[in-house]
């Protein structure tokens, strides 16, 4: 019999979309799956919807917890998972029917620990595929370096991985909530994998839901949260002896996040000041410009907003 695969869905106030997500997991052409839904203290009908889905299909299990954030919901789901392989899926997204079969076959074919497909972004009536800028098999160090590339797209729902590479240490402790927690999780995972596969075959539909971005936007703009995130990243790199080899990439990530997500910017904070004034690396033109603009946060914010408006106009 084929191995059991656990599809884990953290859900917070997702009553409107949860059925679509769970049904896409149950509709996989790979038959031996279980679906674990964790209601993270929702205040809408999420738990009711989840229980109804469980009553209709025995492969669905539902857990409820007080609101602790998506990382803790994923941790709870992982503890409940019985599968040899796991896939995470956000409650407002959906898997394509052949995703699990495709990714499992790639894991077996290439002896992978972790396999990624690509995504289809859906915004209203429009949809388009977002492909990885690399395709093929990477080792753990190559995967780590790729995670610092702003073009890296490693979304929940795109991947399948071996269960044994996961444990509690991959999740934030003490109920911490901060931006880019997925990126930190992947950085930590990179130390545990030998082979990671990237394949430009669509695995999931990422649904752009403006109303779901309210809390995310507040989190992305929180300088305290970014300080926590980069503190964890630096601790991980330092423990692995990789701070020096990835110092330039880390600086570029800081400049990118500060320029595009944080305003107003408190440039008196030591780590922010250090990033803005760090001239020890030969940066690309993009990051030279960002670093220069960050000396004038109001101007930087105006430029970022102008670029975003232009992109929206060209998309229409």
Q: Per residue in 24-81, pLDDT tens? A: 999 999 999 999 999 999 999 999 999 999 999 999 999 999 999 888 999 999 999 9
**Cβ 5 vs Cβ 32: under 8 Å:** yes
pLDDT tens-digit map of 292-305: 999 999 999 999 99
The Cβ of residue 314 has, within 10 Å, a number of other Cβ atoms equal to 7
Euclidean distance between CA atoms 98 and 316, whole angstroms: 31
Euclidean distance between CA atoms 285 and 292, whole angstroms: 11
The third-level CATH classification (topology) of the domain covering 5-208 is: Spore Coat Polysaccharide Biosynthesis Protein SpsA; Chain A (3.90.550)
pTM for the complete prediction? 0.93
Could you tell me the pLDDT band of residue 316, with boundaries at 50, 70 and 90? low
Q: What is the mean pLDDT of residues 119-138?
A: 94
pLDDT tens-digit map of 97-116: 999 999 999 999 999 999 99
Which of the pair, 203 or 313, is modelled with greater confidence? Answer: 203
Q: What is the mean pLDDT of residues 159-186?
A: 90
pLDDT tens-digit map of 244-302: 999 999 999 999 999 999 999 999 999 999 999 999 999 999 999 999 999 999 999 99
User: Can you give the residue ranges of every domain in the chain?
Assistant: 5-208, 215-315
Q: What is residue 215's predicted lDDT score, i.e. its pLDDT?
A: 45
- Residue 186 has φ and ψ, to the nearest 5°, of -65, -40
% of the chain at pLDDT higher than 90: 84
Q: DSSP letters along 51-78, please?
A: HHHHHH-TTEEEEEE----HHHHHHHHH
Q: What is residue 214's predicted lDDT score, i.e. its pLDDT?
A: 42
- Residue 91 has φ and ψ, to the nearest 5°, of -70, -15
Handedness of CA 196, 198, 203, 208 (dihedral sign): positive
Euclidean distance between CA atoms 52 and 64, whole angstroms: 14
Q: What is the mean pLDDT of residues 193-215?
A: 83
Euclidean distance between CA atoms 124 and 156, whole angstroms: 20
**SS3 category, 177:** coil
């Amino acid at each position: 019999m084929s191995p059991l695969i656990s599809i884990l869905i953290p859900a917070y106030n997702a009553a409107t979309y949860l059925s679509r997500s769970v049904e896409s997991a149950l509709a996989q052409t790979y038959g031996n799956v279980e679906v674990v839904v964790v209601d993270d203290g929702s205040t809408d009908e999420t738990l009711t919807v989840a229980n109804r889905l469980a009553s209709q299909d025995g492969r669905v299990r539902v857990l409820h917890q007080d609101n602790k954030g998506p990382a803790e919901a994923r941790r709870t789901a992982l503890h409940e998972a019985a599968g040899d392989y796991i896939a995470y899926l956000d409650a407002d997204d959906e898997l394509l029917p052949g995703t699990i079969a495709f990714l499992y076959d790639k894991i077996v074919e290439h002896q992978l620990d972790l396999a990624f497909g690509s995504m289809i972004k859906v915004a209203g009536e429009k949809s388009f595929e977002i492909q990885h800028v690399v395709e093929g098999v990477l080792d753990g160090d190559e995967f780590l370096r790729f995670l610092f590339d702003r073009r890296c797209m490693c979304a929940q729902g795109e991947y399948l991985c071996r269960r044994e590479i996961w444990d509690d240490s991959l999740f934030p402790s003490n109920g911490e909530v901060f931006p880019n927690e997925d990126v930190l999780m992947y950085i930590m995972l990179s130390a545990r994998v030998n082979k990671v596969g990237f394949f430009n075959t669509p695995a999931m539909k990422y649904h752009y839901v403006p109303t779901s971005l309210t809390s995310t936007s507040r989190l992305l703009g929180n300088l305290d949260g970014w300080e926590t995130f980069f503190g964890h990243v630096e601790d991980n790199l330092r423990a692995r002896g990789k701070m020096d080899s990835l110092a330039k990439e880390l600086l570029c990530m800081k400049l990118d996040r500060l320029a595009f997500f944080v305003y107003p910017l408190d440039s008196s904070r030591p780590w922010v000041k250090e990033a803005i004034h760090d001239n020890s690396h030969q940066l690309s033109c993009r990051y030279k410009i960002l670093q220069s603009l960050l000396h004038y946060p109001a101007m930087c914010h105006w430029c970022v907003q102008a670029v975003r408006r232009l992109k929206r106009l060209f998309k229409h």
